[in-house]
Amino acid sequence: MKFVPAKPNFSRFRPMRLFTAALALFFALLPLCGCAAQEKTETFTAMDTVMTLTVYGGGNALDDAKVLILGLEAELSVTAEGSAIRRLNEEGELELCEDAAALVSEALALCAETDGALDITVYPVVRAWGFTTGDYRVPTEEELSALLPLVDHSAVKMSGSTVTLPAGAMIDLGAVAKGYASDRAAALLREKGVKSAILNLGGNVYALGSKPDGSAWRVGVADPFGEGGTYSLVLSVTDMAVVTSGGYQRYFEQDGVIYRHIIDPETGHPVDNGLASVTIVCEEGLKADALSTALYVMGYEKAVEYWKNHGGFDAVFILNDASIHITEGLESCLASASGEQTPEIIKK
Ligand code: AMP
Ligand code: MG
């Protein structure tokens, strides 16, 4: 038998068929390019910081998130005229709106859990140093000793959504409000069908889902010794909050001494314990915000102990000697590190 190669049948490639095939290919590829979620970005000032929200898809979801954050600021600010927290501080007792009550309740639990390293009643001391007004000054030791008895989160009473403060005591949610706002904004975006967004609430970052191309978000941990805009390392994360507390974020200098905005509730003095910054990575923005402040107050050794005993989060510690230490869960998230020293991995 002779093998006869089949003749190519060119009639199968008629122009009409070619056109139909091209059309089918076009519609097949359409969902991959033409309908890609639209990117919207907005930068605005709220909660005493610059916030940038970038959202993919979800229609007006970005506008809704901004309105939500501004509404939370109006309730949670310690200085804004008529805010729930300012009124509570003025009146000593107040029935709070839902968000303020939820945040005070959760913040008080975190104050207890961190053994008072986080203490929302530190406000009279923070105010004496001028950190909320910008009228910076160094209070006298007598002034601080008179204010310290007011610092006691366990003396704040809550019954339902009514909060009662001891005489003279005042609270400040500055250490937790941005984290709470990021959780609320992320929940709202998810409700609106958003699968991809990056929310930067002034150093409180929330990475929702992944990038539109499916890869993880890359979040930089600021170099506390840099001029700004430089990173000590970059983490790859999805559905995670990444929150940094550091003395470099707000401070003033007097007679050659630098006074930083995070206060040790035990002494009433700005924290100065060898830590340059603490970054917490976990699923909830509120917890990350609370713990970044608290672990910064604790200092490196106690903070590592806290991580070992509690877990549920990871951390980056940058010390004043510029060394970088990361808890073991972050090893796989480390996209790059720019410091001269490679980060030390802290094991359980
Ligand atoms: P953060 O930037 O989240 O670490 O919060 C720092 C802010 O929280 C400061 O600017 C103060 O308003 C307030 N604050 C300072 N020290 C403490 C503390 N030990 N506990 C709770 N809030 C604090
Ligand atoms: Mg905080």
Q: How confident is the model at residue 193 (pLDDT cuts 50, 70, 90)?
A: very high
Report the percent of the chain where pLDDT is more than 70. 89
Q: What is the mean pLDDT of residues 119-129?
A: 98
Atom of ligand 1 at shortest range from CA of 264: 19
* pLDDT tens for each residue of 140-172: 999 999 999 999 999 999 999 999 999 999 999
Q: What's the CA-to-centroid distance between 283 and ligand 2, angstroms? A: 15
pLDDT of residue 339: 64
Average pLDDT over the chain reads: 90
Q: In ligand 1, which atom is closest to the CA atom of 204?
A: 3
Average pLDDT for residues 269-289, to the nearest whole number? 98
CA distances from 332 to 103, 135, 250, 327, 328 (A): 32, 44, 31, 11, 8
What's the gap in Å between 40 CA and the centre of ligand 1?
31
Q: Which residues lie with the beta carbon below 6 Å from any ligand 1 atom?
A: 118-120, 122, 126, 131-132, 172, 174-175, 245, 250, 261-263, 265, 289, 292-293, 297
Cβ 74 vs Cβ 81: under 8 Å: no
pLDDT at 110: 98
DSSP 5: P
* Secondary structure tally for the chain: helices H, strands E: 9, 17
Stretch 245-255: mean pLDDT: 93
CB distance 130 to 101 below 8 Å: no
Percent of the chain clearing pLDDT 90 (strictly above): 84
Check residue 242 and give its pLDDT: 98
How many CA atoms lie within 13 Å of 166's alpha carbon, on the beta-carbon side?
12
Ligand found nearest the CA of 249 = 1
Confidence label for 35 from pLDDT (cuts 50, 70 and 90):
low
With the most atoms of ligand 1 within 8 angstroms of its CB, the residue from 262, 273, 292 to mutate is 262
Query: For residue 118, what are the contacts with CB-CB under 8 A and spacing of at least 6?
Result: 107, 110, 111, 175, 176, 290, 291, 293, 294, 297
Number of the ligand closest to the Cα of 262: 1
Residue owning the nearest CA to atom 5 of ligand 1: 175
Give, for 108, the enclosing helix (H) or strand (E).
helix 98-113
234 pLDDT exceeds 80?
yes
Is the pLDDT at 29 greater than 60, yes or no?
Answer: no
Among 18-27, 236-245, 335-344, whose mean pLDDT is lowest? Answer: 18-27
Per-residue pLDDT at 25 exceeds 70: no
> Ligand 2 centre and the CA of 238: distance in Å?
21
Q: Residue 178: its pLDDT value, please?
A: 98
